[in-house]
Amino acid sequence: MELGLVTSGEALASVDALLPKLIEAKIGSRIAAQDPTIWGPEADAESAIRLGWVSPFEAAGKLIPQILDLRDELQEEGLTRIVLCGMGGSSLAPEVITAHDEVELVICDTTDPSMVKQIVETDLEHTVVVVASKSGSTVETDSQRRAFTAAFQAAGIDPATRLVLVTDPGSPMDKPEGVRAVFNADPNVGGRYSALTAFGLVPSGLAGADIEALVEESGLVNDVLASDDEDNLALHLGAAMATAGRDKLLIACVGDALPGFGDWAEQLIAESTGKEGKGVLPVAAHVDAPELKNLAADVLPLFVYDALPEDFDEDATAVHFSAPLGTAFMIFEYATAVAGYLLGISPFDQPDVEAAKIAARSMLDAPAETAPDAVDGPVELYGTEAKTLDAALEQLTAQLPADGYLAIQAYLNRTADQELAALRDLLAEKTGRPVTFGWGPRFLHSTGQYHKGGPAQGVFLQVTADHKEDLEIPERPYTFGGLITAQAIGDGAVLADAEHNRPVLRVNLTDRAAGIAALIEAAK
C-alpha cells in the first residue's frame, strides 16, 4: 500500500492557512519530544502522562518476542481460538489489525447477554481469553472475565491456563496469580492511542497477525512526523480536520482499504476532540453513503484508499489518504493531537465518559421501574409524547438543528442483530444530515465523550431490547441483561439532563426481529 495524502477544496484552503502556523509553532517536533505544554496550562498535567504513544518502538521491540513465544506455546497445545475482552480502543485497534491480516480474533466488547453467552459457550476446549483493561477495573471486562472463568471451571478447564491479561502496571489486574500471563502496557498512553502498545499487539499477535511488520510500518514516518516542515503529513491532516465550518468528518474506506479503520479512527477523534462544546464529529460510513450524494456545507469527506487514484476533482472539498496500517495509526494519532491544538482543547482527557459510568452504577444500585410512554406493536417508546413509532421518529428528527447530527445507539447483539445497521443510511437519507451508528456499550468508551462534551448538535436514538435469556455475572448482584440496560438508561439520563439537554428517544424492542423490522420500516 502506498503512502499519500491529498487535500482539495476547502480542506486545501484550511491547510494553506494553518500549516505555516503549525510549522512556526514547531508543533510536529514538540509532539515528538512529548512536550506537554502544547495544549495549554490546564492540559499540562494530563498531557504529561499521555504522550508515550509517539515513541512505541522500544517497548514494542521488547514485547513482541514475548507475544510470539506465547503464541507458539498456545498453538503447540492446540489453543487456537483467541477471544478478546476489551472496550473502546482496546478492542477496536486489534479488530482492525486482525481484519487487515485476515486472521481470526473473536471480539467480546459487549454486555449483551446473548452475544456474551454465544462467545463464552463456543469451543472452550481451544479457547484462550485475553482480558484487556487499562484501569484493571472496567466493569464490562471484569464481568466478561468472570463469565469465562466460571465457564472454564464448569468445563473442567483450569482458568489459569487460559487467561491472558493486558493492563497498566499496578492496576488491580496486574497480578500473576490464576492466569497464564500478564502483559503490562505503557501507563503513559491513553486507551484510544494504544494501537501500537500491548493493547493492540498482544491479542493481535496471539491471533496470528504480523505485528512485527505492523510496528515496522509505524516507524516509517517517525522522522517525517517529528519534522516542522511542509512534508509532515500529520500537520496536513490535522489542519484539514480543523477546516472551519466543516466539523463533521465522514470517513469512507474505498474498496478493501483498511477494513474497520473508520471505526477505530472514529473513537480516536471523537473522544479526543469532543469537549468544551467543541470538536470534530467523525462519521464512519462508506463510499455510497447518502451524506456524500448531497454534501452538506458542514461535512468533510475523508477517503481511505489502498492507493491514491491519479485524478481528483480539485474543486471538490475532500481529504484523500492512503498508508500502510501501522503508518496510518501513527499519522492519525499525531493529526488528532494537532487538531486538538488547533481547536484549543486537550486531546487526552475524557471528562464526560465518567458521567455515564456513574449513572449506570446508580441504575444498578436502584433499578428504575418506569412504564413506557407508549407501546406500538413490538416496540416500547420512552422519552416521547408520540403514540406510534413513526410519530416518535418524526418528533425526534424534527429536533435536528441545521448543523446537527443523529446518533443511533444500539444496545443489542452486534452479530445477531446486524440488520439494524441498515438504519444508519435510511435515516441519513431521510434527514439529510450526518448519522452515526454505535453499538452499545462499546461506544460509551469512545464517541460517548463527543455526545456529551462536543457541540450541542446531536439528537439520539437509543435502541434497547428485552432479553429472552439472560446471563448471570458470577459474584455480582446483577446480570448482563441488567448491566446493559442500566448502561443505556444511565447514558440516556445524562444526555437528557439539565446540563446537556440533548433530545433522546429510547425504543425498546420486546421482540428483536419484529422490532428491528418495524424500525427499518419506520425509517423508510
> Domain spans of the chain?
4-33+226-343, 56-217, 353-523
Question: What residues contact 53, with CB distance under 8 A and at least 6 apart?
Answer: 186, 189, 190, 193, 194, 196, 197, 333
Q: Given a cut of 80, is residue 341 above it in pLDDT?
A: yes
Q: How far apart are CA 152 and CA 161, in angstroms?
A: 10
10 Å CB burial of residue 216 (0-12, 13-18, 19+) is middle
Q: Given a cut of 80, is residue 369 above it in pLDDT?
A: no
Q: How confident is the model at residue 157 (pLDDT cuts 50, 70, 90)?
A: very high
CATH pick for 56-217 out of 3.30.565.10, 3.90.950.10, 3.40.50.10490, 3.30.230.30: 3.40.50.10490
Q: How far apart are CA 381 and CA 387, in angstroms?
A: 8
CB-based contact 132:179 (threshold 8 Å): no
Backbone angles phi, psi at 439, to 5 degrees: -85, 125
Which amino acid is present at 247? D
pLDDT at 365: 78
267: its cell numbers: 473513537
Q: How far apart are CA 514 and CA 389, in angstroms?
A: 13
Intra-chain end-to-end CA distance of the chain, in Å: 39
In degrees, to the nearest 5, what angle opens at C-alpha 353 toward C-alphas 330 and 33?
A: 30
Q: Which residue has the cell 512505541?
A: 56
pLDDT at 47: 97
Q: How far apart are CA 45 and CA 422, in angstroms?
A: 43
Q: Given a cut of 90, is residue 53 above it in pLDDT?
A: yes
Section 290-299 average pLDDT: 96
Pairing label, strands 318-322, 374-376: unpaired
pLDDT at 364: 80
The per-residue b/e assignment along 377-397, b for 16 or more CB within 10 angstroms, e otherwise, is ebbbbbbbebebbebbbebbb
Share of the chain above pLDDT 70, in %: 100
Q: Given a cut of 80, is residue 367 above it in pLDDT?
A: no
State the CB neighbour count (10 A cutoff) for residue 324. 19
10 Å CB burial of residue 368 (0-12, 13-18, 19+) is exposed
Provide the mean pLDDT of the chain. Answer: 96
Say which DSSP state 185 is in.
P
CA distances from 323 to 191, 205, 218, 305, 329 (A): 22, 21, 10, 8, 9
Q: pLDDT tens across 444-484, in order? A: 988 999 999 999 999 999 999 999 999 999 999 999 999 99
Q: How confident is the model at residue 360 (pLDDT cuts 50, 70, 90)?
A: confident
CATH architecture of 353-523: 3-Layer(aba) Sandwich (3.40)
CA distances from 422 to 98, 123, 289, 417, 430 (A): 25, 31, 11, 11, 13
CA distances from 501 to 267, 451, 453 (A): 23, 11, 12
Helix (H) or strand (E) holding 322: strand 318-322
pLDDT at 312: 85
CB-based contact 168:185 (threshold 8 Å): yes
Section 326-330 average pLDDT: 98
Q: Given a cut of 80, is residue 214 above it in pLDDT?
A: yes
10 Å CB burial of residue 156 (0-12, 13-18, 19+) is exposed
Share of the chain above pLDDT 90, in %: 94
Q: pLDDT tens across 169-207, in order? A: 999 999 999 999 999 999 999 999 999 999 999 999 999
441 cis-preceded (ω within 30 degrees of 0): yes
Section 383-410 average pLDDT: 97
Q: Given a cut of 90, is residue 316 above it in pLDDT?
A: yes
CATH T-level topology, domain 4-33+226-343:
Rossmann fold (3.40.50)
Which amino acid is present at 344? G
Section 228-232 average pLDDT: 97
CA distances from 298 to 259, 335, 434 (A): 26, 20, 10
Q: How far apart are CA 6 and CA 10, in angstroms?
A: 12
Q: How confident is the model at residue 363 (pLDDT cuts 50, 70, 90)?
A: confident
Pairing label, strands 379-382, 181-184: unpaired
4: its cell numbers: 499519500
Q: Given a cut of 80, is residue 85 above it in pLDDT?
A: yes
SS3 167: strand
Q: How confident is the model at residue 344 (pLDDT cuts 50, 70, 90)?
A: very high
pLDDT at 139: 95
Q: How far apart are CA 31 and CA 35, in angstroms?
A: 6
475: its cell numbers: 459474584
Say which DSSP state 418 is in.
G
Q: Given a cut of 80, is residue 155 above it in pLDDT?
A: yes
Q: pLDDT tens across 90-135, in order? A: 999 999 999 999 999 999 999 999 999 999 999 999 999 999 999 9
Which amino acid is present at 64? I
Q: Given a cut of 90, is residue 237 above it in pLDDT?
A: yes
Q: Given a cut of 80, is residue 54 above it in pLDDT?
A: yes
Section 207-222 average pLDDT: 97
pLDDT at 354: 75
Sheet containing strand 281-284, strands side by side: 4-8, 318-322, 299-305, 248-253, 281-284
Q: How confident is the model at residue 443 (pLDDT cuts 50, 70, 90)?
A: very high
Q: How far apart are CA 316 and CA 139, in angstroms?
A: 45
